[in-house]
Amino acid sequence: MKKIIALFITTLFSIGLISQVQAHSRWLLPSHYNMSSEKGLWLMADATASNEVFNVDKALSIDVLRILTPKGKLEKPSSVYKGHRKSVLDYFVADSGTYKLTNNYPASYRTRYKLNGENKRLLASKAELSGKLPKGATDVSTTLSYARIESYVTMNKPSDNFGQEGTMLELLPITHPSDIVEGEQAKFQFVFNGEAIAGVQVEITLEGVRYRNDPQVLSLVSNNKGEVSFTPKSAGRYLLIAEFERKAENQQLADFESGAVFLSFEAQLN
């Protein structure tokens, strides 16, 4: 019988658990971040949504889930099953190195406005508003948004192919994700359109929020090098949420451009 490692990938939409992003926290959650095998292993994964950490409510789409291999090849899961409460995929990890898992949707334009005192929104850029924006709309503002939902899994030994794209907000590990250890400082860098960016708002939370009166959220802001550093107090799985917004470079399409990164990672026992 083949040895199977379960890799549970969970995208979480939480309400009231994370102050910064409130109702749209997202997890890409492996059950194993570090594995060891000379023959390779099958990975199984669940894609689910919840209103609390790890409470499954409904299945999420994994049509856009991709796996960046240590050789730089972008692959799809081997097979996928979509249910009402759970979507399941599997993937055979054959090579040693670090795999980057992403479940990112295309960037989108969102226009917000007020009508008769109520907040409204349209999925449209400024160039697409003609004929769509109702008469009497006020406080019109358009934002180009893109969110990255990511995690890393390492087989045998780590590698450094992190798949930088040079667009919108990205997280670049300075401390390798497989080397994060409780009680030791870890460091990440943030770039926006390929350039280090200061002022990124970051929150890091240990799993198990529903079992703590104090969610124990660590709040950080990136420095002039785009870097944040932190020391996990205990081993376990964490969610990092980063957000950054600025005035858009292309004012014909949007007023603002906003990026977000949701990274799940593990701090190992020391």
Estimate the share of the chain in helix, then strand, then coil, as percent rounded to the nearest 5.
5, 45, 50
Q: Assign 5 a pLDDT band (cuts: 50, 70, 90).
A: very low
Distance CA 223, CA 142 (A): 28
Biggest distance spanned by C-alpha atoms of the chain: 66
Give exposure, 54-72, as e/b (b: 16+ Cβ within 10 Å).
beeeebbebeebebbbbee
pLDDT of 250 reads 82
19-30 per-position pLDDT tens digit = 343 335 677 778
79-121 per-position pLDDT tens digit = 877 777 667 778 898 999 999 999 888 899 999 999 999 999 9
Residues 6+ apart with CB under 8 A from 28: 9, 10, 11, 101, 102, 103, 149, 150, 151, 262, 263, 264
pLDDT of 265 reads 94
Give exposure, 215-227, as e/b (b: 16+ Cβ within 10 Å).
bebbebebeeebb
pLDDT of 51 reads 39
Pairing of strands 87-93, 41-49: antiparallel
